[in-house]
């Protein structure tokens, strides 16, 4: 096995409907570990055979009928971890310990609730659910951090675009769910539990526009380019050296996937990890 492996995350908005696109992406990018969100199927409906045919022998699925769902597929051996973050019991996360070249790291795959349309937890239960979900994550990783520094990777659709240039219009979206000051604050609190490194911004200046999601409502998605960076790959400080080896070239947001046939509204994101630096 080579020292450098590739991790990926993608909200596919239905694993079965988007399977041709997922297969194309895998053939083009060959990620070693891929976290999928919003798979929209129960566990026994997940297309295991298709992933096995592509070389992914190890698959962990948290499914739910018609909604939500997360799955991690891997070429590397995985052990399922027992974690629970969703206060409502939705299938929104999969946690796995992965072994690569005798090195272990944790891969936490999240689909954080979108939060509805009104950024007020008093009148919007969905927004309160989002805050509660992130609070559960914050509590968990705070406890983990107190026990020592581990090799952790957090990926997924976090449904929050934190930076001014992670959205097409900062001032226009300050009161829009996904970019409100409250959401940015709670996400920063989660990030600070471990000092997690935001891989998208590790080697890319904060002033550069970065998006991973574009609404289906846009008539000409790339022309209007009204996107948001809702998807993330974070690593704990123990993996800082492992993501720094290739600098900016080690991270990619695969924007062209947004205009593939029958696309998801999200695009995949990849990060190279240098195992020799672990």
Render pLDDT for 180-189 as a digit per residue (tens, 0 to 9). Answer: 999 999 999 9
Please, what is the average pLDDT of the chain?
96
Round to whole Å and give the CA distance between 30 and 213: 22
Q: Which residues of 22-51 are buried (b: 16+ CB within 10 A; e: fewer)?
A: beebbeeeebbbbbbbbbbbebeebbeebb
**Measured in whole angstroms, how far is the alpha carbon of residue 44 from the centre of its chain?**
23
Query: Quick check: helix, strand or coil at residue 8?
Result: strand
| Higher local confidence (pLDDT), 242 or 148 | 242
Q: What is the pLDDT of residue 148?
A: 83
Tell me phi and psi for residue 50, to 5 degrees: -65, -40
Contact 68, 90 (CB under 8 A): yes
Report the distance separating Cα 266 and Cα 254, nearest Å. Answer: 10
pLDDT at 94 over 70: yes
Kind and range of the H or E run holding 50: helix 48-53
The answer to whether the pTM exceeds 0.75 is yes
Q: What is the pLDDT of residue 77?
A: 97
User: In the chain, which ranges are E strands?
Assistant: 4-11, 33-37, 58-62, 70-74, 78-80, 93-100, 103-111, 152-157, 197-198, 213-214, 227-228, 231-235, 251-253, 269-274
The predicted pLDDT at position 219 comes to 80
**pLDDT value, residue 218:** 81
**Residue 101 pLDDT:** 84
In order of start, what are the domains of the chain with their CATH numbers?
4-277 (3.60.10.10)
**pLDDT, tens digit, for every residue of 4-20?**
999 999 999 999 999 99
C-alpha to C-alpha distance for 245 and 219, rounded to whole angstroms: 39
Question: What is the pLDDT averaged over residues 38-60?
Answer: 98
How far apart are alpha carbons 210 and 270 in whole angstroms? Answer: 14
Helix 181-192 and helix 125-146, axial crossing angle in degrees, nearest 10: 20
Which pLDDT band, with edges at 50, 70 and 90, does 110 fall under? very high
User: What mean pLDDT do residues 140-159 have?
Assistant: 94
**Whether the predicted pLDDT of 1 surpasses 60:** no
Mean pLDDT value of segment 274-278: 91
Share of the chain above pLDDT 90, in %: 95
Quick check: 102 pLDDT over 90? no
């Amino acid at each position: 096995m080579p020292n450098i492996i590739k991790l990926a995350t993608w909200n596919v908005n239905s694993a079965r409907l988007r399977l041709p696109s997922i297969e194309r992406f895998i053939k083009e990018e060959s990620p070693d570990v891929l976290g999928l969100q919003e798979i929209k199927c129960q566990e026994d409906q997940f297309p295991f055979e298709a992933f096995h045919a592509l070389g992914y022998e190890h698959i962990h699925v948290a499914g739910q009928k018609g909604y939500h769902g997360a799955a991690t597929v891997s070429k590397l051996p995985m052990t399922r971890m027992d974690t629970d973050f969703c206060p409502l019991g939705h299938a929104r996360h999969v946690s796995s310990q992965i072994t690569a070249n005798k090195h272990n790291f944790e891969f936490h795959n999240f689909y954080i609730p979108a939060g509805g349309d009104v950024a007020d937890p008093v009148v919007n239960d969905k927004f309160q659910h989002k805050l509660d979900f992130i609070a559960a994550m914050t509590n968990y990783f705070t406890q983990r951090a107190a026990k020592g520094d581990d090799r952790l990777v957090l990926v997924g659709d976090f449904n929050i675009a934190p930076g001014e240039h992670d959205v097409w219009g900062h001032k226009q979206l300050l009161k829009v769910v996904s970019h409100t000051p409250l959401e940015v604050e709670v996400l920063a609190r989660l990030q600070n539990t471990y000092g997690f490194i935001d891989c998208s911004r590790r080697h890319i200046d904060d002033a550069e526009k970065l998006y991973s999601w574009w609404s289906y409502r846009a008539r000409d998605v790339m022309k209007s380019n009204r996107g948001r960076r809702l998807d993330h790959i974070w690593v704990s400080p123990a993996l800082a050296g492992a993501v720094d080896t290739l600098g900016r070239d080690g991270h990619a947001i695969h924007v062209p996937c947004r205009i593939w046939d029958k696309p998801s509204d999200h695009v995949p994101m990849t990060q190279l990890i240098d195992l020799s630096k672990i």
